[in-house]
Amino acid sequence: DSGVTQTPKHLITATGQRVTLRCSPRSGDLSVYWYQQSLDQGLQFLIQYYNGEERAKGNILERFSAQQFPDLHSELNLSSLELGDSALYFCASSVGWTGGVGYGYTFGSGTRLTVV
């Protein structure tokens, strides 16, 4: 167990629907990162939150949004889902605003989203 908890582990939904992925960071970590892993794009950074505030944004679609709550857990909301959104979504956490300090990044086990 890495200490980063992602739920659900698997999600199957239809096109056009909206889903929410949840991440609880490792105890003591203030940063949460979301990554998308798809066959064609590989591992892509989506967004980072640090202590409740958005810190960095990657190639995140406008249909996607995220937030980090006061208890530091984070949710990634995916709406108007398309077949191409099928992917493995990872959450990672780090103690600071960069994974370069401390012990680095810790990844959760991912949520596998299948859009049918």
Partner 1 sequence: AQKVTQAQTEISVVEKEDVTLDCVYETRDTTYYLFWYKQPPSGELVFLIRRNSFDEQNEISGRYSWNFQKSTSSFNFTITASQVVDSAVYFCALTPYTGANSKLTFGKGITLSVRP
Site for partner 1 in 6-35 (CB under 8 A): 31, 33, 35
Contact stretch for partner 1 (CB under 8 A) within 12-20, 63-71, 75-83, 90-98: 90-98
Task: Tell me which residue has tokens 């989203």.
Answer: 113
- Regarding 89 and contact with partner 1 (CB under 8 A), the answer is no
Report how far residue 51's alpha carbon sits from residue 38's, in angstroms, rounded to the nearest whole number: 28
DSSP code at position 83: G
**Under the criterion CB under 8 A, does residue 58 sit at the interface with partner 1?**
yes
Q: Are strands 10-13 and 111-115 parallel, antiparallel or unpaired?
A: parallel
Q: Using CB under 8 A, pick the residue from 24, 26, 110, 115 that binds partner 1.
A: 110
CA 17 and chain centroid, separation: 18
**Nearest residue to 46 via CA among 72, 70, 76, 21:** 76
Least gap, CB of 65 to partner 1 (angstroms): 18
Pick the binder of partner 1 from 45, 52, 60, 65 (CB under 8 A).
Answer: 45
Where do the H-state alpha helices sit in 17-108? none
Contacts with partner 1, residue ranges (CB under 8 A): 2, 31, 33, 35, 42-43, 45, 48, 55-56, 58, 88, 90, 92, 94, 97-100, 104-110, 112
